[in-house]
Structure 1
Amino acid sequence: MNNENKDRRIKWLILLIPTLTIGLWEYIRHAILLPYISMELGNLLAPFIVLLVTLTLVRNLFSRLEQSQQALQRAKGANAALEERERLARELHDGISQSLFLLAVKLDQLDEMQSEGPVKQLAEGLRETVRVMHEDVRQAIANLRQPLTPAAAAWVVPLRKLLGETADMTEARAVFTWSIPDESLTDKEKVELHACIREALMNVRKHAKASNVTVTGESVGEHGFRCSVEDDGVGFHGDPLQASGRFGLRMVRDRAKAMGWSFLIERRGDSTVVELLKRGGKVHE
């Protein structure tokens, strides 16, 4: 409601300021400036004065109104997403979860009817399968009812999965920390950032022999971010971008350069860090 009242005031100001400007100019011209400025010159100056006020005050009000409308749309989108998640959680609970419960009851009845033999063994196996499915559904319901976070954004989930796969293949410990707001990135930035992180993780798979791998994404100012892939593997000697077989790192560097981001690869203590940095202020469409 506060945002709606604020938007309403801004709209009224946009409508009234040009009119008030003309009225104030006419009053000043007739009350003070008439001996010094002719009627013809006063009439000629009036539209330029209105234009000047429009380019300053009114233009600023339009910008504030646009920002307010964008924030309102983001809030509506977030609320719609929450409502959809809650609807899916209810459907899972009222449909699949209840059906699995009834199936478990019937399996218990079958188990009581058949004390021994292959049917009993089959019932026990089915009961275990139902139990696992029921736990999966309960976990899915719990996840749907959790608040949305940057790390739960749809395009971020494959990154976390890719990190997990990298850790499984290298028997390393994985840590994923992500706090970049989804709305602070354009679609193009998401695509390019996803590709860069993927290449950096592929490089860890092929060369690092790491025990720990960490992916971190954090905000830097407005619309800016810092994203890094860090591992405690064997590291590198010399310039890693010139080493044979490091095409992925050169691709990350080139993608970052094309987007106007800073690219860095360095040793920090016992760790190798590939870092992408976008300073706040620029938005790449």
Structure 2
Amino acid sequence: MNDRRIKWTILLIPTLTIGLWEYVRHAFLLPYMTMDLGNLLAPFIVLAVTLTLVRGLFARLESSQRALQRERSLSAALEERERLAGELHDGIAQSLFLLAVKLDKLDASPNEAARAATAGELRETVRDVHEDVRQAIARLRLPPEAADHGWVEPLRELLGETAALTEAKAEFRWDIPEDMLGAKEKVELHACLREALVNVRKHARAERVYVVGERTPDGGFRCAVADDGVGFAGDPLEAPGRFGLRMVRERAGRMGWTFRAACGDGLTVIELTKKGANADGRQVAGAAR
């Protein structure tokens, strides 16, 4: 018996009991029992039947609810482990891989000047790893409710940190409602935009940095990180050392989003677009303005 049937049975038992009692009383017991006595016995009979049958049904219902709760807890734990694994792989593990590549480059440096330049790159990578670890620990310390409902504020703070480190002006525009995104979408979107901002911090030398999140007419959304820095030549996904953008593209692909990296009109734009249910095949317009 499933939970729905158990609940209906619990609701119907008292009604059926009192109905059956009234039938038996009027059909068979009326010559032997006064009306007052029958009325007095009715609640005790309902109580006895309830204690006999309904308690067992309640126990089964509680057992089913506990099993469902255990299943939900296990599912949540697995999702959290998957999220942590993704963050470790996309952030710390990739930075450590890059660190190993630069150490090999240091060993192969032909002269002191080249070694000094590579050593500077190594120090910068170590600082990036330290920042990745610090932010991962900070996110772990947040209660789940804060991570879910206050997830936009860390983006604003990260934009502010990026602007402060690069001495750039920051602009944050966001009008995507909280309830428009699922929990997994928030996690993936935060990771993508964070990686794009880290990319600005490392490479752009920008004077202005923008983070934009807006709804699209078809019921989807568009998010972008844009800057007026040096940009890139050719395909940025093929440039050596640009692991971050490749990971953003992979994340977007797994979520069914459209990824775009473009330079034009003095802006470099990393953009993620999700088509809504009302999409009619037309391309959703693009870059941050």
- Which TM-score applies when normalising by structure 2? 0.44
